Amino acid sequence: MQIDWKRVQTLIQLAIEEDLGSGDATSLSIIPPDSETKAILICNEECVCAGLPVAEKVFKKLNKNIIFTPLVKEGQLCKKKTILAKIAGKAIPILSAERTALNFLQRLCGIATVSHRYAMAVKGTKTKILDTRKTTPGWRNLEKYAVAVGGSSNHRIGLYDRIMIKDNHRTLASALYKCAIKDAVMKARKKFPQLEVEVEADTLKDVKDAVDAKADYILLDNMDINTIKKAVKIINGKAKIEVSGGITFSKLAKIAKTGVDFISCGALTHSVKAIDISMELQ
């Protein structure tokens, strides 16, 4: 996942307008316009760094001559009190950009840190951790970028890049077609032959129907460990297997040991705690 700078520049512009309004009244009233300063961005807790290029764009949006020097790499595990970057330039734009830059950086580091933790929980197995579409509206590109930086993997980006026949699709299909899953897969392949097809299965019967329909991926939704093991045997390598629903960190290793290919976790993005990062003037 690469940063979509066209989209992110729009986010930055909106965020700055939201915060700055008619101007930074405090800085404009206290700081002489020609004053210059130096600052550092420092993490106050251990984290995986993600988002420094975005923070740099925020500072330079207010003054293109600000010098922003990253001191760590994207994806680097940083100990508490690691200096992430140095900043130098006009004092007023640096102060005015501080909160917006930190808002981006703290959230993206938070996502990358959780992503790293989840990926490490299944290390040594074939299972990969996937994100979901449970993202902040407008932030999906950045949040999925942070997931990838942290070491987990990206699922589909949106509704356009994979067919995913979920429970509500199956409910409607069952009222329309004789064999809901088989007919739905057939129609999806005919309409969008270039896309892979995934079927969400709630029961072992759904699993068998998805195998018979030759789905590329089968999503085992809210199944317990014993049922997952049975489903893996039924699928027997005929499709890639994803597990989702009710996933907690403590369950990851046990699920991975069943031999599934993917575990998708909304928690990577929808409820992540921001990392404590501050800007300190030098």
What are 172's two structure tokens? 């409607």
**Cα separation, 281 vs 92, whole angstroms:** 12
**Cβ(97)–Cβ(70) below 8 Å:** no
Kindly list the catalytic residues: 99, 134, 166, 200, 221
Closest by Cα among 63, 54, 50, 131 to 93: 63
Written as six digits, the tokens of 128 are 């990969």
48 φ, ψ to 5°? -100, 125
Place of tokens 């072992």: 204
Task: Provide DSSP, 50-101.
Answer: --HHHHHHHHHHH-TT-EEEE-S-TT-EE-TT-EEEEEEEEHHHHHHHHHHH
CB atoms inside a 10 Å sphere around CB 189: 18
Q: With contact defined as beta carbons under 8 Å apart, do 282 and 67 qualify?
A: no
